[in-house]
């Protein structure tokens, strides 16, 4: 059992938002150092009468080694060495070459080489919002990152949520991404998505159209705008509480058993693509 839950940040209780029909709460993850990104995000939603709840993001670059050891994967016998990439045994920056896994790694905590310190803070921020949604009894929540781009009226989400319920059932989906970006980074090879503590499995990266508006996907990169059903919230919290963090959270969601993910075919709310990444680059 992981101790990752110790590092979730509590959120003050807020009223159920009722700003978009069918969504109980809207969170925007924003670092205290990035006030301008939050203000930009608010300006995009203001014309639609929407004010997302700001979550003061966890700054992964200040993560201690002690915290890292409670968040990541404890490498223990008989975990497998099939994972063919280097890992980090400490909070690290982009470009750090990492170290290989071998018998001397037993007893140490590690994460994938792509899980730099900023990515750990990002994961903890998302999980904190999910935990708040779970504890609050919410059925559907929307988590945004502060570099999200509003391309069309967010109130259209009510229509799409109703349509998805009709297509697959109210209990038939866990996650809906609100744009048409569904690229999964398979370029790294089959072991990129492998965890040493989990069985190696080969995964189909095929996507399947569902009705006129949705694509059922097996995984994807980027969590800039993600809607979770309560079933998906619970699956994510249960998984990370049991196994801890190894991959960046957008990739790690792929490993969660029976996580049912869907993409819109429309770029309703997507990614700005032009702002500084606080996950990859250390901020102020």
What pLDDT does residue 190 have?
Answer: 46
Nearest to 226, CA basis, from 10, 15, 26: 26
- Residue pair 38/145 in contact by the 8 Å Cβ criterion: no
Task: Note down the domain range covering 65.
Answer: 8-271
pLDDT, position 81 = 74
Question: What pLDDT digit, counting tens, does each position of 253-278 carry?
Answer: 988 989 999 999 999 999 877 655 66
Q: Which residue has the higher pLDDT, 20 or 195?
A: 20
Flag whether 199 is in a domain: yes
Sign of the CA dihedral with 193 first, then 194, 197, and 198 last: positive
pTM: 0.93
283 occurs within a structural domain: no
Decide if pLDDT at 239 tops 90. yes
Choice between 279 and 168, residue whose per-residue pLDDT is larger: 168
Structure tokens that stand for 168 in this block: 């697959």
Contacts of residue 11, defined as CB under 8 A and 6 or more positions apart, other chains included, come to 53, 55, 128, 129, 132
| Angle between the N-to-C axes of helices 230-243 and 117-135, in degrees from 0 to 180, rounded to the nearest 10 | 130
Q: How confident is the model at residue 198, as a pLDDT?
A: 82
Shortest CA distance to 52 belongs to which of 130, 159, 137, 145? Answer: 145
- Residue 1 in domain: no
Segment 119-144, tens digit of pLDDT: 999 999 999 999 999 999 999 999 99
Distance CA 223, CA 142 (A): 11
Write 275-280 long-range contacts (CB < 8 A, 24+).
275/37, 275/147, 277/118, 277/147, 278/31, 278/33, 278/34, 278/57, 278/118, 278/122, 279/60, 279/116, 279/118, 279/119, 279/121, 279/122, 279/248, 280/94, 280/116, 280/118
Q: How many domains are contained in the chain?
A: 1
Please name which of 185, 161, 172, 196 lies closest in space to residue 78, comparing C-alpha atoms.
Answer: 196
Q: What is the pLDDT of residue 68?
A: 98
What's the pLDDT tens digit per position in 37-48?
999 999 999 999
pLDDT, tens digit, 9 for 90 and up, residues 192-229:
568 888 876 555 567 889 999 999 988 888 899 999 99
Please state the length of the chain: 284
- pLDDT band per the 50, 70, 90 thresholds, residue 284: very low
Whether residue 234 is contained in a domain is answered as yes
Tens digits of residue pLDDT in 58-98 = 999 999 999 999 999 999 998 877 666 789 999 999 889 99
As a whole number, mean pLDDT of residues 47-59 equals 94
Token pair of 153, please?
């009226």
**Structure-token pair, residue 68:** 């890292």
pLDDT of the residue at 259: 93
177: domain CATH number?
A: 3.90.550
Average pLDDT over residues 7-28: 85
236 versus 189: the higher-pLDDT residue is 236
In a domain, 280, yes or no: no
Residue 255, pLDDT score: 84
């Amino acid at each position: 059992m992981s101790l990752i839950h110790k590092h979730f940040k509590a959120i003050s209780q807020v009223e159920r938002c009722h700003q978009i029909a069918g969504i109980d709460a809207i969170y925007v993850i924003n670092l205290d150092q990035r006030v301008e990104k939050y203000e930009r995000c608010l300006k995009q939603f203001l014309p639609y009468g929407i004010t997302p709840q700001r979550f003061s993001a966890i700054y992964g670059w200040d993560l201690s080694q002690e915290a890292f050891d409670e968040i990541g994967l404890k490498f223990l016998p008989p975990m497998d060495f099939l994972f063919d990439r280097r890992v980090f045994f400490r909070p690290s920056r982009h470009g750090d070459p990492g170290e290989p896994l071998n018998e001397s790694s037993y007893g140490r905590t590690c994460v994938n080489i792509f899980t730099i310190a900023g990515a750990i803070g990002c994961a903890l921020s998302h999980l904190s919002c999910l935990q708040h949604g779970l504890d609050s009894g919410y059925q559907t929540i929307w988590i945004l990152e502060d570099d999200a781009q509003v391309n069309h009226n967010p109130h259209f989400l009510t229509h799409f949520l109703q349509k998805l319920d009709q297509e697959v059932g109210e209990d038939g989906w866990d996650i809906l991404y609100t744009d048409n970006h569904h690229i999964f980074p398979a370029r790294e090879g089959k072991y990129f998505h492998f965890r040493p503590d989990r069985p190696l499995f080969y995964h189909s990266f095929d996507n399947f159209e569902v009705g006129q508006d949705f694509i059922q996907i097996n995984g994807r990169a980027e969590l800039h705008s993600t809607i979770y059903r309560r079933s998906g919230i619970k699956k994510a919290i249960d998984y990370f509480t049991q196994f801890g963090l190894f991959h960046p959270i957008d990739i790690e969601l792929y490993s969660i058993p029976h996580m049912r993910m869907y993409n819109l075919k429309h770029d309703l709310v997507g990614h700005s693509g032009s702002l500084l990444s606080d996950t990859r680059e250390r901020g102020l």
